[in-house]
Amino acid sequence: MKQYKVELNKKISLAKLDPNETGDFDGGKEKGLKAIEKLNAELQELQELLYAEGKHKVLVVLQAMDTGGKDGTIRRVFEGVNPQGVKVASFKVPTSEELARDFLWRVHKVVPGNGEIVIFNRSHYEDVLVVRVRNFVPKEVWSKRYDQINEFEKILADNGTLILKFFLNISKDEQKERLQARLDDPSKHWKFSLGDLNERKLWDDYQQAYEDAINKTSTKYAPWYVVPANRKWYRDLVISTVLVDALKSLKMKYPKPKDNLDGVVIE
Ligand code: ATP
Ligand code: MG
């Protein structure tokens, strides 16, 4: 899965990456789903360890075009993980209170604490994506934000935060199918917003904004992964694998007991 990590000195071009691919995974969907189940069990154990040890913090950033699968990823990858130690923070259109402050104010308030995993469903990256594409602020303002984001994430990393950022890469055709499916199914109408069609018209501008954001903010301490996301099972497999590997690399240990328990007898 290493091939999806955006390396420091290798710029990516989204047009050259295939959202349909399933890498060198041989086995297809059925085997993929079995592998995800195993990874999910590992993730549950690692999360328990993270919580018990209370030393590291984990921040997972999910970004995607509309219908890209952020919600599905959260549901599937984190299924069964103890809700005590996992939170989801969703970033919507900023409120007037948020707009009156710097763009990181609302973000910094909800970063993970010791032993916690926080999943960002959209994130501070919206401030160099929709904000840039829609000209909500002038270029002089948004163009400075890449460095500001890198500095911000450096502070988090220096304070014990493992940061993993995922761009769920779907194709324009796949988005059309997913939007159509929402339109055809009355139980999915609540997810359909006419505004999504306006954003779809700006597909190319968004691709450019994503490409720039990913290339300018993939760092050693907070790397981006561009995940082929047309096939949902493969998307989940990639993200689960990256997450489990990263958590394992923390070499966490259950804490020693507070008291000496040798010879303790419960009567
Ligand atoms: P779904 O994919 O299920 O529709 P969503 O994440 O799109 O979920 P919505 O409530 O539909 O949730 O949309 C949130 C909207 O808020 C998005 O259009 C996003 O671009 C916008 N948004 C988020 N952050 C900002 C920001 N800083 N400035 C302007 N708009 C933002
Ligand atoms: Mg939406």
Cα–Cα distance, 266 to 58 (Å, whole number): 37
Q: Domain extents for the chain?
A: 2-248
- Which ligand is nearest to the Cα of residue 72, counting in written order? 1
In 3-state terms, what secondary structure has residue 6?
coil
Identify how many contiguous H helices and E strands the chain contains and give both numbers. Answer: 11, 5
Q: Distance, CA 159 to ligand 2 centroid (Å)? A: 32
Measured from CB, residues less than 6 Å from any atom of ligand 1 are: 66, 71, 91-94, 122, 126-127, 130-131, 191, 193
For 49, 59, 151, the CA distances from 156, given in Å and listed in that order, are: 21, 9, 9
For residue 239, CA distances in Å to 1, 115, 192, 203, 264 come to 9, 20, 26, 24, 43
Identify which of 63, 126, 134, 174 to mutate to test ligand 1's pocket (most ligand atoms within 8 A of the CB). 126
Structure confidence at residue 260 (pLDDT): 94
Residue 178: which H helix or E strand, with range? Answer: helix 172-184
CATH top class, domain 2-248: alpha beta
Per the structure block, which two tokens stand in for 179? 């939007």
Return the percentage of the chain with pLDDT > 70, whole number: 100
DSSP 203: H
Can you tell me which atom of ligand 1 is nearest the CA of 129?
A: 20
Query: What's the pLDDT score for residue 21?
Result: 95
pLDDT of residue 176: 98
Tokens standing for 219? 């760092």
Instruction: Give the number of other Cβ atoms within 10 Å of residue 200's Cβ.
Output: 16
| Residue from 108, 119, 121, 122 whose mutation best tests the ligand 1 pocket (most atoms within 8 A of CB) | 122
DSSP 27: S
Report whether pLDDT(27) > 90: no
pLDDT tens by residue, 127-172: 999 999 999 999 999 999 999 999 999 999 999 999 999 999 999 9
120 pLDDT above the threshold of 90: yes
> How many angstroms is it from 130 CA to the middle of ligand 1?
9
207-225 residue pLDDT tens? 999 999 999 999 999 999 9
H/E stretch holding 24: none
- Dihedral pair phi/psi, residue 125, rounded to 5°: -70, -20
- Average pLDDT of the residues in 66-77: 97
Q: Residue by residue, what is the 3-state secondary structure of 223-266?
A: CEEEEECCCHHHHHHHHHHHHHHHHHCCCCCCCCCCCCCCCCCC
Rounded to whole angstroms, the Cα distance separating 233 from 215 reads: 26
Q: Which ligand 1 atom lies nearest to the CA of residue 193?
A: 11
